[in-house]
Structure 1
Amino acid sequence: MRETVHRHLGKLMAGVAIATVGTAAMVAITLPGTAGANETGGSKGGGTRAAQQTGQGADGTLPGVVEQAPAEGKKGKGLDPLTDDEITRVEKLAVSRQLFDTSQNVRGGRGPERLDVQLAEPEADEVDDPNAPRRADVTVYDYRDDTLVTRTVNLDTGKVERTAAQHGVQPPLSRAEQIEAARVLIADALGAGLKADYKDATGKELTSPDQLQLSSMVYRAAPGGSAAVARCGEHRCTRLFPKVRNGPWIDARKFVIDLSARKVLQLG
């Protein structure tokens, strides 16, 4: 590692432990040198599958289309994990035309950001029923008003049985959200150190999130903390842990990316 690396904001790191603070807890993360990094995001099968986006509207947002729900395809039984066909189908069933038209994803396009799909627990009176209907909980995030929405879909009937909306609840980021957070950081003036460190490590310019391996942690403002990040928790904010592909980690701990406001914030 060259000595010039250390003058940049995003100091390259190899084989060190870094501590990050969320609300009241201190969480230690060990960065494994130049070994491959695990990329975190939504749960298996439940990662974000952004609505198809074409062009750009007059208001600067990206329009999209809602696809028709597909045929049922392969089905599981009882408490079997959701099949790929079930996941694909339930994601489409959960996002109604009204929800799609009135919500916004992480890139500013129409439609909510899809986070996760999980098999729902059976109702209390269905626990011992071998023929109980299978249901799935589909979790999405509406960036228009920072709302976490969970919709429970009956896979037998195709109907949405329950909808729950929550504010101030921030589950782990999806892969698409990590990529967008990196894109925002790279484009911002505060990302200059990150780009300089990447060039020191590779000799190339950093222009795209595809050039990095990404891990992330949801960031929530601590009581009495910096005013710059006071809305994190209400807003969807994250700290990124970028890594040069097949190379060292880059220290970006000073920065919080507010995805709701599409801003990079610097901690003191």
Structure 2
Amino acid sequence: MRHLMHRHLGKAVAGAAVALTGTAAMVAITLPSDAGATGGTERSRPAAAAQGRDQGPPPPGVVEKAPAEGERGRGRDPLTDDELRRAQELALPPTRRGATADVTGRSGPERLTTDLAELTPAETGLADPPRRALVSFYDYTSDSYLTKTVNLTTSKVESTDTQHGVQPPPSRAEAVEAARLLIAAPLGSGLREDYHQATGRDLTGPEPLSVTGFVYRGRAEGDAPGALGDCGEHRCIRLFTKVKNGQWIDTRRFVIDLSARTVARLG
């Protein structure tokens, strides 16, 4: 079986090399040789010849310096770094320990997104309308999705919305924590084996991987046997997994329940 695995590793399929080992599949993606920024050497050579041999290389491009960012944007300008910081601080005042928790169990809900809020119809014609931010969190203590509207002009929280069973896309921190749980679980043996075969090193944590998470909603997506039936109410995600600067490892069949901190497999 191991001999066959090594033969599969070198077999090209539709421009990609595919290897099946353990419970995961590695995919090495290659680009065409002429996929450079200049359009490839074959196209660039005639153009260079037409210019003549005595014309040296073209002058380097000029990159304009980014304009200085103020503390406060105007109108529909994107939120500045200062506004992002203030919005998150206003939306998440200090709370008693254990009242809310993030994906790792630390006090305070998991930060998700901070976006510029829409104006009300009465504000659209104002020369200098108020600036508001929508700040969203996920609270692992109560499995709830929190959204707060923060008025950055008055520095007040105008509204708070709490929903259960709503699962927005996961943050990068949640994807990394899901990878950590998968690597440590018995079901992560295939991922560990594939990583070792690809790199020659042991996989003990998520740091050598690039991971992207997407939500799994349990019965809303079809049959969800056993513990997977809690997904949707619980925070469950699946992963796209890649060795940094290396091969893809298919982990999409695994479901990581971040609320229960368990790992299951689909199919």
Range class of TM-score, shorter chain: 0.7 to 0.9
User: What letter is aligned with 2:175?
Assistant: Q
CA RMSD after TM alignment: 1.8
Asked whether the equivalents of residues 34 and 247 of structure 1 are also in contact (C-alpha less than 8 Å), the reply is no
Pairing partner for 1:10 from 14, 24, 27? 24
Q: Whole-Å Cα distance in 1 between the matches of residues 193 and 127 of structure 2?
A: 59
SS, match of residue 177 in structure 1: helix
Partner of 1:109: 106
- Once the two structures are overlaid, the 10-residue window that deviates more, 209-218 or 5-14, is 5-14
Deviations 1:52-72 (A, max 9, x none): xxxxxxxxxxxxxxxxxxxxx
Indicate whether 1:122 and 2:136 are aligned. no
- Once the two structures are overlaid, the 10-residue window that deviates more, 122-131 or 180-189, is 122-131
Asked whether the equivalents of residues 21 and 193 of structure 2 are also in contact (C-alpha less than 8 Å), the reply is no
User: What letter is aligned with 1:250?
Assistant: I
Asked whether the equivalents of residues 114 and 139 of structure 1 are also in contact (C-alpha less than 8 Å), the reply is yes
Q: What is the aligned-residue identity percentage?
A: 51
After TM superposition, give the deviation of residue 168 of structure 1 in Å.
Answer: 1.0
SS, match of residue 161 in structure 1: strand
Q: Whole-Å Cα distance in 2 between the matches of residues 151 and 169 of structure 1?
A: 15
Partner of 2:216: 219
Partner of 1:50: none
User: Which ranges in structure 1 are unaligned for 5 or more consecutive residues?
Assistant: 15-32, 36-72
Mapping of residues 1-268 of structure 1, within 5 Å: 2-3=6-7, 6-14=20-28, 33=29, 74-98=71-95, 102-221=99-218, 222-268=221-267
Q: Which has the larger radius of gyration?
A: 2
Q: Whole-Å Cα distance in 1 between the matches of residues 256 and 194 of structure 2?
A: 19
After TM superposition, give the deviation of residue 210 of structure 1 in Å.
Answer: 1.2
Asked whether the equivalents of residues 198 and 205 of structure 1 are also in contact (C-alpha less than 8 Å), the reply is yes
User: What letter is aligned with 2:135?
Assistant: V
Q: Whole-Å Cα distance in 2 between the matches of residues 111 and 225 of structure 1?
A: 30
Number of aligned pairs? 213
Q: Whole-Å Cα distance in 1 between the matches of residues 112 and 224 of structure 2?
A: 28
SS, match of residue 137 in structure 1: strand
After TM superposition, give the deviation of residue 10 of structure 1 in Å.
Answer: 1.4
SS, match of residue 209 in structure 1: coil
User: Which ranges in structure 2 are unaligned for 5 or more consecutive residues?
Assistant: 9-18, 32-69
Question: Which of the pair has the greater relative contact order for Cα pairs under 8 Å at 6+ separation?
Answer: 1
Asked whether the equivalents of residues 149 and 159 of structure 2 are also in contact (C-alpha less than 8 Å), the reply is yes
Q: Whole-Å Cα distance in 2 between the matches of residues 253 and 85 of structure 1?
A: 38
Q: Whole-Å Cα distance in 1 between the matches of residues 251 and 223 of structure 2?
A: 23
From the two aligned structures, give the one with the greater helix fraction.
2
